[in-house]
Structure 1
Amino acid sequence: MTTPSDRTPSPDSPEEAAKGAVPSAVPSTGQTDAAHRRAVTAGTAPAIDRSRRQQAQSAGSSGALAAAGSTASSGSAGSSASAASSSGGLLHSADRRGVLMGLLTAGAAVVVGSVMGNRGQGGTTQDVRATGNTVNATIKVEGMRFVPDTVDVTPGDRLVLTLDNTADQVHDLVLATGQSTGRVAAGATGTLDAGVVAGPVEGWCSIAGHRAQGMVFHVTAGGSGASAHQHGAGQSGSAGSGGDAVPDYSAALPADFTAFDAALPAAPTNPDGSSGPVTHRHTFTVKEQVMQVGGGVTQRRMTFNGQVPGPVLRGKVGDTFEITLVNDGTMSHSIDFHAGITPPDEAMRSINPGESLVYTFTAQHSGIWLYHCSTSPMSLHLASGMHGAVIIDPPGLSTVDREYAIVASEVYLGPEGGEPSTDKIAAKTPDLTTFNGVAFQYSQQPLKARVGERVRFWVMAAGPSLPTSFHVVGLQFDQVFFEGAWMLGGPSQIGAAWSGGSQALGLQPAQGGFVECVASEPGHYVFVTHAFADMEKGARGVLEVTA
């Protein structure tokens, strides 16, 4: 917080005023109490800390700049206004008011002018006399925190903030009064001119999910007498939206909708027909776009190659995968392949929009492996669609009639067409659950099989937070492969001696495996997560078996 000694006063004469610019004031680092930090990170508290500063004087004089409508993206801007503040005020703030009143009484012409406060959402204005002082503050980024996260000014001071992005991904700083640094790449700086400040103002990073993780900023005004901080409209996840979308579980998908192709081709072989390891080369382009999620709702998804889940890759033990990640999005992104064993420092680093990297790994173990964006907050990026699967066949895997890949995940709805709700993500309360990114899609567009065909379902629980229990109504599994090991059947025919069978494949987030079944009669066999509360939100489909 700046003190009276940090701030250069207005020149006492026109001659002094003409000598040059007022030196900048450098704030010290303010620290928010730990309990409030936890509440903000969890998304259970507004993005202000009313306990960090005593607000001056009575609740009758607001003094705060009215919010001009946030420039934040729909995933992060705003919160409801907080009204309570304590009485008293800072001693040096009262001293300033006394000095100012004395100067006015003496008729001294040191007041630069009367400046209208920023126009708020309700169209209100606030008169404040400009002091002629300019407070300059540089804000750095440490993890998911602004450092310092508070700057104190005298009402009437002009405030200029410089965001020095010392983090490894894109950030910005937005004030509730509408000013913004714009997106600032890692290692770059951006400047925000808040103009003449009339009272306390809140700020935050508007990148999706960052505010909920604690990237909040406070402008306090020691002499304002304000009784309320100013905030943007709406808390993280549904800013300015008028509320989160509500799914209709009976809603049909659009007539032109095509379900995600779950059919799984065999692992590629070498073009020359040789039997050695294969090198797989793919480009994953990050795109952010509005897509169907089921229940009559669209959301802004973060995707690999414009699809959710991302491309399903398949190979064998010993194969090499060379993935070029291209960031065509609006924020930092990255990728983490569980199928590879590699130091995360370089391969999994976040890259800025317009950048790319090459991620290379060799598959050493069989199984179905998750990949996902590992840029913070990971829960948001995964919930937004940035996940997929890599299948590495166990040696000697038998050929079956049909194979399907099923990636289970959750959807936490924000506004229609907007970004997910970070509050719901933190609380693990999804509105929809999906197989391959869209709720109920395989109920309306069933998967196919014929009587007597052996069907293999590869299943991955992508989360980000909930498990799944894969079950096919009316069928049993006679082959079960879970997390790299045969649990039933396989080359050793585990369970055959006692006629063993299985009814469900239970998976925690980031776990996977496959099951096999054969239908002896035609019918519509419903496959579900047997966690029924989740099944009823969309994690279900139909295996249509014909003669």
Structure 2
Amino acid sequence: MSRPLGGAAAGVALVLLAVLAGTVAQRATDPPTTVAAADVAPTGHTTTVAVTAKDMRYHPDTITVPPGDRLVIELTNDDERRHDLVLANGARTGMVERHGTARLDAGVVGATVEGWCSLPAHRQAGMTLTIVTGAGTHMAADEHGIETVRDATAPTTPAEAVHRVDLHVKEVQIEVAPGVRQLMWTYGGTVPGPVLRGRVGDVFEVTLTNDGTMDHGVDFHAGALAPDQPMRPIDPGESLTYRFTATKAGIWMYHCSTMPMLHHIGNGMYGAVIIDPPDLAKVDHEYVLVQSELYAGADGQVGDLAKMQAEQPDAVMFNGHPNQYAHRPLTATAGDRVRIWVLDAGPNRSSSFHVVGAQFDTVYLEGRRVLGPDDPGGAQVLQLGPASGGYVEAVLPESGHYPFVSHSMVDAERGARGVIEVGPAS
């Protein structure tokens, strides 16, 4: 008897899962560390799973099989290059051509089994798959395993000149890969925190309340004032009011001010404030991307400070999840002008923001416009260091898919990538 099963993928951390499982760093020739158990009692049932190879990933990349079931994988290659699937228990497909299919009999599954593509560097680049045993329950997710995608649409600029904001420190468990949870320190329960927006001359009154279990604070780069009082750490249960006037335009970082700041920023306590330049024109679409890094600690614990100090991120991401916009793209229409605000929250990695197939005719970097539509030249990247930001604009000329990445390619492979899906003009 056959049980169709669409096992959950870690779409929120497609690269991260391979890293956490310890497979990305292995060579394809390394001996397997986990194979199917030989002494599991066969159930007599067969679980059949459809797996798609696309964008140098398997979808899903985690398959849950009832213990003792025989597993059959139906592999479809939707990528523009050949792939195969090799399992640590010895089962493998042949090489599957573009748009081809193959059927793999994985045998009776009784324990975790790793899988990978055997072509040179494909496994190291993250093309891995994990088979686990369980009751067959899965995350409520789409076919890519993405439960919640952060809306990258920029907030509109409020009409009022005084912005009263309640900002709560929350320590929350976030699943960064199937079954792998991290305790993140956050503003408002999300990583990054909420995007705030205003104009030059606006006043921000931020009430910070510490709902966590340790001292936290906040530093708003959008304000200029002595840090002694408003940026002081506050104990659990305490509140403070942080008031500043936005005197300069730009996209500004805010982050926890408690030492060691490396640990607090690296564990999720950061966000963006947009202060509009006075001559900011309307565009067809406006997005915000905050680049940052993830340093995974022990399961259910906070991020690993030693990894942060060694600058060894497990993932690099836009808006808190690696690769989320690769499968839930940003959207536009051919001929639209698109503005993308980018903030590099770090805490360590620089960003070289690039949209494949687009040329930027407008570049705004750290408070000044360095390129405008009337200039003869164009730009290919927005180069940012940690805590810096700006925006770029481009007119996307025709329908299609325009990938965006940090052009530090190791970080793109770690998850700093996405897609703008452009539809035809009406």
TM range (shorter): 0.5 to 0.7
Q: Give the CA deviation at 1:417.
A: 2.5
Residue deviations 1:496-516 (CA, integer Å, cap 9, x gap):
2xx210000000001000000
> Which of the numbers 334, 354, 358 marks the counterpart of 2:237?
354
> Which of the numbers 499, 504, 513 marks the counterpart of 2:390?
513
Unaligned 5+ segments in structure 1 are: 1-245, 271-277
The corresponding residue for 2:289 is: 406
The corresponding residue for 1:261 is: 151
The corresponding residue for 2:314 is: 431
The corresponding residue for 2:362 is: 479
The corresponding residue for 1:299 is: 182
> Which of the numbers 272, 275, 287 marks the counterpart of 2:170?
287
* Pairwise CA RMSD: 2.0
Instruction: Give the counterpart letter for 1:267 in structure 2.
Output: T
Distance 1:403 1:501 in 2: 20
The corresponding residue for 2:420 is: 543
The corresponding residue for 2:192 is: 309
SS in structure 2 of the partner of residue 380 of structure 1? helix
Distance 1:476 1:415 in 2: 42
Aligned length: 289
Q: Give the CA deviation at 1:520.
A: 1.2
CA 1:247–1:284 in 2, change beyond 3 Å: closer, same or farther?
farther
CA 1:305–1:412 in 2, change beyond 3 Å: closer, same or farther?
same
Distance 2:125 2:265 in 1: 20
The corresponding residue for 2:411 is: 534
Q: Are 2:296 and 1:419 equivalent residues in the alignment? A: no
Residue deviations 1:461-497 (CA, integer Å, cap 9, x gap):
000111111000111100000000111007xx4xx2x
Provide the identity percentage: 53
Distance 2:175 2:315 in 1: 12
SS in structure 2 of the partner of residue 351 of structure 1? coil
Instruction: Give the counterpart letter for 2:343 in structure 1.
Output: M
> Is contact 1:326–1:357 with CA below 8 Å preserved after alignment?
yes
Q: How does 1:79-228 map to 2 (within 5 A)?
A: none
CA 1:365–1:474 in 2, change beyond 3 Å: closer, same or farther?
same
Distance 2:174 2:248 in 1: 34
The corresponding residue for 1:443 is: 326
> Is contact 1:266–1:314 with CA below 8 Å preserved after alignment?
yes
> Is contact 1:294–1:441 with CA below 8 Å preserved after alignment?
no
Q: Give the CA deviation at 1:291.
A: 1.1
The corresponding residue for 1:454 is: 337
> Is contact 2:125–2:413 with CA below 8 Å preserved after alignment?
no
Q: Give the CA deviation at 1:416.
A: 2.4
Distance 1:460 1:251 in 2: 32
> Is contact 1:295–1:439 with CA below 8 Å preserved after alignment?
no
> Which of the numbers 212, 218, 224 marks the counterpart of 1:329?
212
> Is contact 1:443–1:540 with CA below 8 Å preserved after alignment?
yes
Larger fraction in strand? 2
Distance 1:446 1:536 in 2: 17
Q: Give the CA deviation at 1:257.
A: 1.0
Structure showing greater Rg: 1
> Is contact 1:302–1:386 with CA below 8 Å preserved after alignment?
yes
Distance 1:433 1:294 in 2: 14
Distance 2:370 2:180 in 1: 39
Instruction: Give the counterpart letter for 1:411 in structure 2.
Output: L
> Which of the numbers 377, 382, 402 marks the counterpart of 1:500?
377
Instruction: Give the counterpart letter for 1:396 in structure 2.
Output: D
Distance 2:355 2:153 in 1: 17
Distance 1:464 1:390 in 2: 17
Instruction: Give the counterpart letter for 2:294 in structure 1.
Output: V
Q: How does 1:357-396 map to 2 (within 5 A)?
A: 357-396=240-279
Report the TM-score, using the length of structure 2 for normalisation: 0.65
